[in-house]
Chains A and B, each alone.
Chain A
C-alpha cells in the first residue's frame, strides 16, 4: 500500500514514530543533563501521541488508556522526578564530554539500518497499519542501549534505560497493538518503582564514591587499582 493511499491519521502515526526515533538521536547527541531530560520527556509525549493515533486508527480503546498512562508517567512524572533529582544533586548544568559525538550518531544510523534489515521479515508477515514502525521501535531500544554504553554519568544511563523501556512499549504497540492491559500496568508500575529506586541509588553512589561517574565504580572490582 502506498503512503499516499493511507489515511491522514495513519500517516500521522508514521510521522510521530519518526519523531520518536528523532528524539532518540537527540538524546544521543545531547551532552547536557537537563536538555537530555527534556528530550526524554518529549519522547514520552510523542510515544503517547503515537499510541493515541494507533488507538484511533485501529479502534482499540484500551490503547487510549495506555496513551494516557504513558503521557502521565513518561512525559511528566518520571522526567519531573529526574529533574528534581538533578537539582538536588546540583548536577543540572553538568556537561558530559561525549567521545566522538558524530561517530556515535553515525553508529546510531547504522543501527537503524540494521534494525530495518532484521525487522523486515517480521514486518512482511504483519498486516497492521503499524507494521512499518516495528523497525523504528527496535531501533529505539538499541539506541537506548547505545546511549547507556556511550555515557558515563549515572543519570544519563538511567535515561538510556528508560528509553529502552519506551522502545519496548512502542514495539508492543507496533507489532500487536499493545500488550494486555494488566501487563502494561505492571510494567508501568515497575518503571515507576525503578525510577524511585534509581533516585535513592544516586544518593548512595554519590555519598560513597563522591561522584555519579559510573566509571569510578570500576574501583570496586576485585583486582583493585
Chain B
C-alpha cells in the first residue's frame, strides 16, 4: 500500500463515476445517488493520497506498461503533487455533496419542459448522462495531470481535462453565447497546450527524452532556459487566466453548470499553477531573477485588472470568474517573488514567497468553490444571476447567506479568515526586499506590493457589493422575494468549505507545517522559522520581524462579543422595530436601493481608462421641456479583447486570405504544387 495506490483509486473512482452516470438518462437517480457518491469517494481518496504524500514527505514513483512502446507511463506522487491533489479532492468532495441537489434542476427541466427561454436558465434536452460522464473524466484528468511524471502522460491528461471541460462549458448549448464561450475556450486551451508542448520539447531536447527525470537532469544554457520559461509561462498562464490571456475565462466559467464552474475556477486553474510550479521550480530548477520580475509584473497586472473588471460585473458568476483572474494574479505575484529571491541567492526568503503562493492556491480553491456553489444555490432558487435583480436573500436563504458571507470575508482578505493569511504572507515576502542588493528591485517590489494592497481593498469593495446587493436590503424581483432555502446536501457542500475557510484562517501554522515538505522537496530547505514559536504564532521570517496570531484574534473577538452580551445586550430591553429614515417623503421601496451599477460608479470614474466604457442616456423628448422616457445605457468592456485579440484575429484572417490565393480550385495546379514539393524534397535529401 502506498499513496500512489490511493491516487490510482481516486482516478479510477472519478472515471467510474462517469461510467455510472451513463445510465442517468434513463434513471436520473443513477447520477444523483450513484455517480456523485462514487465521485465523493474518489475525492476522499484523493485527499487521503495527497495528505499521505504531504505528511510523510515521501515521493513514490511507478511505471505503468501503457503508452508508447519506448515510453511507458511514468507516474509519481510527491508532496507538491500531493498538495494539489488534496486541493482537487476537497473541492470534489464539496461538489459531490452539493451536486445531487443541484442537478435536480436539469432533471426537472427534462420533465416539465416549460418554454421560458431565459439566457441564464438551464434548458431542456440536456443529457444528464453527458453531464455525469464529462464531470468524471474532467476530475480524472485533473488528478492524472498531477500524477504525471513524463511529458506524454502530462499532455494526455491535460488534454482530457481541457476537452472534457470544454464539453461541460458547452453543456447548455442551446444558448448561442455558451457555444461561443465554449469555442473560444477550446481554441485558447489548445493554443496553450501547444505552447506547453513546445516548452516540454525544449527541455526534452536537452534532456534526451520525455521523462521528467531526464528533464530535471538536463543542463540548459540561460538563453534556452529562458525560452522554455517564457513558453511555459505563456502556456500555463493561458490556462490559469493570466492577463491578457484571460478572455476565455469570464466567458467559459459562468457558462458551465455552477458546480462545474466551481471546479473549473476553484481547481482547474490551480492545476495550471501546479504545472507552472512543477516546470519552473522543479524541472527547470534554478529560476533566474528576471523570470521572477516578469512573473511579478504580469501577476500584478493580472491582480489589479482582474479585480477592477470584477468590480464592474453585474452577473454574479461572471464577477466570480473575473475575481479568479485576480486571485491567480496574487498567486503569480507570490511565485514571482519566490523566483526573484531564489534567483538572487536568498532561498529562505524564496521559500516564504513560494509558501505564500501555495497557501493562496489552497485558499482560493476553497473560497472560490464555496462562492460558486453559493452562486449556484442562488441561481437554483431564484433563476437569477443578475445582481441588480436580487436582494434581501439573507432573510429567505439564511444558511446559504451565512456561508456566502464567510466566503466573502475570506476572499476580501479580512482577518481572521483564510484569504488574509496568504495575502499577509505574500506581503511579508515582498517586505523582505532589503535583503536584495539591487536597488532597482528594491524600489520596484514595494510598488507591486502596494498594488497588491490596492487589489485587496478593491476586492473588499467588490464583495461588499456582491453581498450587499444580493443578500442584504430588499428583494428586487418577485422570484427573489419567494426564494426558499436549498436542500441539505447543497448546504452541506457549502458548509464543509465554509468550515475550511475558518480553519485555514485560524490555524495557519498547522497548514504551513503541513505544506513545508513541498519547499523541502523543491528547494531542499523548509521555512522552519514560520512556526518557531509554536502553533499560536505565525512568524514567516522570524518572530522579530513579523508575527500574527489568528487564534488570539478570534479569542479577542469572542471576548468583545461576550462583554457586549453581558454588559449591554442582556441588560437592555428588547429592541423596538420601526421604519428607516426616508427623508420624510415616505414609502421607501426596493427600487430606491443602491444597485450594483451604482455601487461601482465612483470606482468606475476614478479608474475610467481601465475599461472600455460606453455610457449614454437616451431621452425621448416630446416637447421642449418634457421627456417621456429616459434610458441609461452602460456597457463596460474589457480592453484586452479589442486591444489584443481583435488585431490578432484580423492578422490571421488577412494571412489566411493571402494563403487562400493559392487555392485556385483547379486540380492541375494542385498537382503541380505536389510535384514541385516533391522535387524540392528530393533536392533537399540529396
- Flag the segment in B151-159, B438-446, B570-578 that touches A: B438-446
Bound CA span A100–B609, Å? 9
Bound CA span A104–B203, Å? 43
Inter-subunit contact A113/B609 (CB<8 Å): no
Bound CA span A20–B68, Å? 70
Inter-subunit contact A120/B439 (CB<8 Å): yes
Bound CA span A120–B437, Å? 12
Residues of A within 8 A of B444 (CB): 113
Inter-subunit contact A116/B609 (CB<8 Å): no
Q: Which of B410-445 contact A (CB under 8 A)?
A: 439-440, 443-444
Q: Which applies to chain B's interface (DSSP): helix, strand, loop or mixed?
A: helix
Q: Which applies to chain A's interface (DSSP): helix, strand, loop or mixed?
A: helix
Residues of B within 8 A of A116 (CB): 439-440, 443
Residues of B within 8 A of A117 (CB): 439-440
Residues of B within 8 A of A120 (CB): 439
Bound CA span A113–B440, Å? 7
Residues of A within 8 A of B447 (CB): 109
Residues of B within 8 A of A113 (CB): 440, 443-444
State how many residues of chain A have any CB contact under 8 Å with chain B: 6
Residues of A within 8 A of B443 (CB): 113, 116
Q: How far is the CB of B558 from chain A (nearest CB, A)?
A: 43
Bound CA span A120–B439, Å? 9
| Per-position 1/0 for A14-30, Cβ under 8 A of B | 00000000000000000
Residues of A within 8 A of B439 (CB): 116-117, 120
Bound CA span A224–B24, Å? 76
Bound CA span A113–B609, Å? 25
Q: How far is the CB of B610 from chain A (nearest CB, A)?
A: 12
Q: How far is the CB of A120 from chain B (nearest CB, A)?
A: 7
Bound CA span A117–B440, Å? 7
CB nearest to A106 among chain B residues: B447
CB nearest to B607 among chain A residues: A102
| Per-position 1/0 for B135-156, Cβ under 8 A of A | 0000000000000000000000
| Per-position 1/0 for A93-137, Cβ under 8 A of B | 000000010000000010001001100100000000000000000
Q: How far is the CB of B108 from chain A (nearest CB, A)?
A: 52
CB nearest to A100 among chain B residues: B609
Q: How far is the CB of B96 from chain A (nearest CB, A)?
A: 48
Residues of B within 8 A of A109 (CB): 447
Q: Which of B563-610 contact A (CB under 8 A)?
A: 609
CB nearest to A135 among chain B residues: B439
| Per-position 1/0 for B443-467, Cβ under 8 A of A | 1100100000000000000000000
Bound CA span A140–B447, Å? 21
Residues of A within 8 A of B440 (CB): 113, 116-117
Q: How far is the CB of B224 from chain A (nearest CB, A)?
A: 28
Bound CA span A109–B609, Å? 20
Bound CA span A116–B444, Å? 12
Q: Which of B222-255 contact A (CB under 8 A)?
A: none
| Per-position 1/0 for B292-333, Cβ under 8 A of A | 000000000000000000000000000000000000000000
CB nearest to A113 among chain B residues: B443
Q: Which of B607-653 contact A (CB under 8 A)?
A: 609
Q: How far is the CB of B447 from chain A (nearest CB, A)?
A: 8
CB nearest to B447 among chain A residues: A109
Bound CA span A157–B440, Å? 30
Bound CA span A113–B441, Å? 10
Bound CA span A100–B608, Å? 11
Q: Which of B476-495 contact A (CB under 8 A)?
A: none
| Per-position 1/0 for B59-83, Cβ under 8 A of A | 0000000000000000000000000
Q: How far is the CB of A92 from chain B (nearest CB, A)?
A: 30
Bound CA span A98–B262, Å? 45
Bound CA span A205–B119, Å? 63
Bound CA span A128–B475, Å? 71
Q: How far is the CB of B44 from chain A (nearest CB, A)?
A: 50
Bound CA span A95–B603, Å? 25
Q: How far is the CB of A203 from chain B (nearest CB, A)?
A: 38
Residues of B within 8 A of A100 (CB): 609
Bound CA span A12–B133, Å? 73
Q: How far is the CB of B366 from chain A (nearest CB, A)?
A: 35
Residues of A within 8 A of B609 (CB): 100
| Per-position 1/0 for A40-71, Cβ under 8 A of B | 00000000000000000000000000000000
Residues of A within 8 A of B (CB): 100, 109, 113, 116-117, 120
Known A-B contacts: A113-B443, A117-B439. Give 9 more (CB < 8 A): A100-B609, A109-B447, A113-B440, A113-B444, A116-B439, A116-B440, A116-B443, A117-B440, A120-B439
Q: Which 7 A-B pairs rank lowest in CB-CB distance, beginning with the nearest?
A: A113-B443, A117-B440, A116-B439, A113-B440, A120-B439, A116-B440, A113-B444
**8 interchain pairs, CB-CB under 8 A:** A100-B609, A109-B447, A113-B440, A113-B444, A116-B439, A116-B440, A116-B443, A117-B440
